[in-house]
């Protein structure tokens, strides 16, 4: 491996690490799910299934899962969700 190859590999590795850090810094899946739940435009059963799948696929953490489930349960008790996922 030449010196130029090593430099190129180091630059690529550094860029890759920066991208990973950005992804870890703000979990986009979690943010999108939270926004949907806050708006109340979802079906509870369907959303719970999605959360389970995202948790199993490591797209959200256990803590994020628990927070989102609590939000669903809180909004369910206030009646802000609608059946079928359509906003009334």
Does residue 1 lie within any of the structural domains?
Answer: no
Span 58-83, pLDDT tens digits: 899 999 999 999 999 998 777 654 54
Domain that holds residue 42: 26-85
Maximum C-alpha span of the chain: 65
DSSP 8-state assignment for residue 60: S
Q: Identify whether 5 is part of a domain.
A: no
In a domain, 30, yes or no: yes
Collect all residues with Cβ–Cβ distance below 8 Å to 88 and sequence separation of at least 6.
82
Q: How many domains does the chain have?
A: 1
Would you say residue 20 lies in a domain?
A: no
Mean of pLDDT over the chain: 82
**pLDDT tens-digit readout, 20-70:** 666 555 588 999 999 999 999 899 999 999 999 999 998 999 999 999 999
63 located within any domain: yes
* Contact of 34 with 52, CB cutoff 8 Å: no
The pLDDT of residue 86: 46
Does residue 40 lie within any of the structural domains? yes
- The verdict on residue 45 lying in a domain is yes
Residue 19 maps to a domain: no
């Amino acid at each position: 491996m030449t010196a130029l190859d090593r430099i190129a590999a180091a630059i690529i590795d550094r860029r890759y690490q920066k991208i990973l850090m950005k992804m870890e810094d703000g979990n986009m899946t979690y943010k999108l799910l939270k926004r949907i739940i806050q708006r109340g435009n979802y079906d509870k059963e369907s959303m719970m299934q999605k959360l389970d799948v995202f948790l199993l696929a490591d797209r959200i953490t256990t803590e994020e899962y628990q927070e989102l489930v609590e939000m669903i349960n809180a909004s369910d008790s206030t009646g802000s969700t609608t059946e079928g996922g359509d906003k009334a």
